[in-house]
Structure 1
Amino acid sequence: MSLFVTQGIMRIACVCLLLLSATVLSQNVNERYRKFIEQHINGKMSVNRCDEEIGLRRISKTNSNECKETNTFIRATTNIVKSICGLAGAPYERNGQLTRSLQPFDIVVCTLRNQGARQPRCQYRGQSRTRIIAIKCEQGFPVHFDGDIVHLDH
């Protein structure tokens, strides 16, 4: 085989590898975005529905049936929250590369009342707040809720 043919085959292999990597990364982001939506977005959430929503959505500590200490629901649509990863957000450094919303959001913070409990016995106390929120974005999609911000850093 000539050097020219070998180089051509290597280029094709590299292009195929890059396309495959991009596809895998894109699928991973899509899965993380779907999980973010399931765990954190509910436009009609109320402080009295924490137990029900967390149970229905099977939200727990990662890879266990232990009750999650806190879970925050954002009262907005997926498109409005997604816009934080674009023009409706600004870089926010804390625990890695994050983005903060430019506008406050109505949120419901559900805090576990019965520490150490396991599903389905999780009992939460809901609290309504209006806060700037900090999220992690990947490829223009929110994939992690980091927290709410009481006072903006100047």
Structure 2
Amino acid sequence: MRISFACLLLLSATVSSMNEPHRKFVKQHINLEMSVNRCDQVMGSKGITETGSNTCKDTNTFIRANSAEVTKVCGKAGKPYDGGLTISLQPFPIVVCTLKTGNNKPKCQYKGKSVTRYIVIRCEGDYPVHFAKDVFSLG
């Protein structure tokens, strides 16, 4: 019984660590309720900075959809794109937050812009783990 329980714990920890890049992607790039006026607040509350620092991130894109809709891009709702990436077959509403002023947290101030674009992401298995860019058209 102890061996079975230990194996279950090990498997659970392995699955959890495999999902970490996806959880980070969701935290950093998916927000159904995002608006152009909330960039400062959302970037601050989610602690979005340049990786491993307190430096303000120059740009961050929020996809205005739920996680399930974006995850579908890694399957039938997407197609292969440059360098092992995947592009959505349909455009998504997004909010792009671009740094206006400030170098370090908490003085980061952003300007938001709302657009509709195709999203280009990297998938691991069936899950998005990296937002590469947005594009105006599939062509």
Structure number having the greater strand percentage:
2
TM-score (norm 2): 0.88
AA of the residue aligned to 1:72: T
2:115 to 129, 139, 142: 129
1:112 is the counterpart of 2:104 = no
Residue by residue, what CA displacement relative to the aligned partner does 1:13-60 show, whole Å, maximum 9, x if unpaired? xxxxxxx89x74x44430000000000000010000000000000000
What's 2:68 paired with? Answer: 79
TM-score (norm 1): 0.79
Matches within 5 A, 1:54-73: 54-73=43-62
1:29 and 1:91 map into 2 onto residues whose CA distance is: 22
What's 2:40 paired with? Answer: 51
Larger Rg: 1
1:139 is the counterpart of 2:112 = no
> What is the aligned residue count?
129
Aligned residues: percent identity?
55
Once the two structures are TM-superposed, the CA of residue 86 in structure 1 deviates from its matched residue by: 0.5
Where do 5+ consecutive residues of structure 2 fail to align?
A: 1-9
Q: Return structure 1 stretches of 4+ with deviation > 3 angstroms.
A: 26-29
What's 1:40 paired with? Answer: 29
AA of the residue aligned to 2:108: C
2:53 and 2:93 map into 1 onto residues whose CA distance is: 29
AA of the residue aligned to 2:40: D
* Aligned partners of 2:117 and 2:137 also within 8 Å: no
RMSD, matched Cα: 1.6
1:100 and 1:27 map into 2 onto residues whose CA distance is: 26
Where do 5+ consecutive residues of structure 1 fail to align?
A: 1-19
